[in-house]
Structure 1
């Protein structure tokens, strides 16, 4: 865990000044999501993309490796009036983790030419869908839990995993120690855009939920859906397993929003815990401190392949 930084203190002071002049400012850590509430929203914009609000609120995802700095954001209210604001990205500290794979998984370190070609093909297929579609959102927040009982996750989102001197992997999702055989469910309505056995992530299901949001479930023992299926919130997608590069049975849940890698735990908890333009300076600082402490939100340079 890290203590409150000089950076966050400076941002808090900036928020105080912004509040005094009525600016619309929200500060979000790498891998987080900002929120704009206080007025009923119809559309939102960031990164040059315009997309629909979710339940009359705007959400702004920040990639796990986003550079600290400012981004222009916008909100269009129900009358079509545009409101401009600023999202400030703050650096977050993520853990470095040393991992040792058992001999049975040696093929994932000393990769054959055939497996390397397979992995490249997997990446090419996934790259086509990670941006998501900007169709109307088919989800509300919080998202549904992906399993009937969801154990506490390790604080592994954003960790840089080192397997040996040559192999490192950025873990852009969360691992949940769910026992083998449990059912994995869709976190929201959507369309299955990929369901396949992949080299690193094993049996994998990708669901597009509209509004640029894509969920990913890895290492499944079996898959219960196929590409093109339209699924409902809570519908079974498969069973927990340990396929691909997995040291044991668990669920890897990942989320991309507008192509940005974000912490899935944030969207499984109350959206009220997310930093918001509507926060007072004191509220904003409390959320910054909680994020920096690595505490989970309360209820109310290879990308990870598992």
Structure 2
């Protein structure tokens, strides 16, 4: 992990310029950092100020975030500002070849191209949803009772037969066709409709800037505008849209950052945290790359 050691050297050099030691943390692209222990009420990162979660600040890092040192802030219950430094480490995401069952999604018709353009515009508008009060705690609920190991495919660069590529921003798990898919937290359904590429699709706003996305469902069990509860059934596993077979697809965006959703399905103390030693930070990042949620008891 030479890059991580270099990151810590950068942090040390940055901190040394100040009169006092500055709290620091190291996190990988697509990861989430944590700052606990100061009774946080609000957090600050990349020019955004947003609510804390259960007294702790979390800093979601997009999978294409700029590598290097970033300033982070925590505002405690008395309104006092605390500043820290977060070093973002580069991740070399894998390349995966995808073979589709037919050429519907390779030789896309003009009609489907127009349809996708309209659907994409509606989705992009969702990412401008104002940040509302937090309606979740961590860890999030698992989206299925049984969670088989995923392909560890978050961030993978997918290469199709015609040479086109796309980056996978969620996680896929081989959950059985027709299995129920559940909401990871309380929230409001922002979109529930069938799309060309993502098939039967559900977007849910969980407050605090956190949004979950479920794609390729066989059936949708909620409607736009529904107020839902943690663990509520929102649909069933399927293979609609551009899919190679039945699976559970879960994606998360937090304050617009595309993050590995499995990180929030486990205890938050496993996230890279302000105050971790370099060795502990390295161990947490390595563990995150092999992240799999523990299975609940079967229904």
TM-score, with normalisation over the residues of structure 2? 0.93
Q: 1:224/1:289 Cα in 2 relative to 1: closer, same or farther (>3 Å)?
A: closer
Q: 1:21/1:28 Cα in 2 relative to 1: closer, same or farther (>3 Å)?
A: same
Secondary structure, counterpart of 1:39 in structure 2:
coil
Give the conservation status (yes or no) of the 8 Å contact 1:30–1:62: yes
Q: Choose from 199, 204, 207 the match for 1:207.
A: 204
Matched, 1:193 2:190: yes
Q: Which moved more, 1:26-35 or 1:12-21?
A: 12-21
Aligned counterpart, 2:291: 296
Aligned counterpart, 1:64: 63
Aligned counterpart, 1:51: 50
Secondary structure, counterpart of 2:104 in structure 1:
helix
- Alignment partners' CA distance in 2, 1:38 and 1:25: 14
Give the conservation status (yes or no) of the 8 Å contact 1:191–1:209: yes
Give the conservation status (yes or no) of the 8 Å contact 1:12–1:284: no
- Alignment partners' CA distance in 2, 1:42 and 1:168: 41
**Unaligned 5+ residue runs, structure 1?**
300-306
Structure 1 residue 204: Cα displacement:
0.4
Matched, 1:149 2:182: no
Q: Which moved more, 1:198-207 or 1:92-101?
A: 92-101
Q: Choose from 171, 175, 182 the match for 2:172.
A: 175
Give the conservation status (yes or no) of the 8 Å contact 1:178–1:250: yes
Secondary structure, counterpart of 1:116 in structure 2:
helix
Aligned counterpart, 1:127: 124
Aligned counterpart, 1:10: 6
Aligned length: 291
- Alignment partners' CA distance in 2, 1:52 and 1:86: 19
- Alignment partners' CA distance in 2, 1:297 and 1:38: 27
- Alignment partners' CA distance in 2, 1:131 and 1:154: 30
Aligned counterpart, 2:158: 161
Aligned counterpart, 1:37: 36
Secondary structure, counterpart of 1:243 in structure 2:
coil
Structure 1 residue 146: Cα displacement:
0.3
- Alignment partners' CA distance in 2, 1:135 and 1:213: 9
Structure 1 residue 283: Cα displacement:
2.0
Secondary structure, counterpart of 1:233 in structure 2:
coil
Matched, 1:280 2:296: no
Give the conservation status (yes or no) of the 8 Å contact 2:69–2:86: yes
Give the conservation status (yes or no) of the 8 Å contact 1:132–1:257: no
Secondary structure, counterpart of 1:101 in structure 2:
coil
Aligned counterpart, 2:94: 95
TM-score, with normalisation over the residues of structure 1? 0.90
Give the conservation status (yes or no) of the 8 Å contact 2:11–2:69: no
- Alignment partners' CA distance in 2, 1:231 and 1:56: 24
**C-alpha distance after superposition, 1:3-47 (max 9, x if no partner):** x2x211222445567599521111111000011112110000111
Aligned counterpart, 2:113: 116
Give the conservation status (yes or no) of the 8 Å contact 1:132–1:258: no
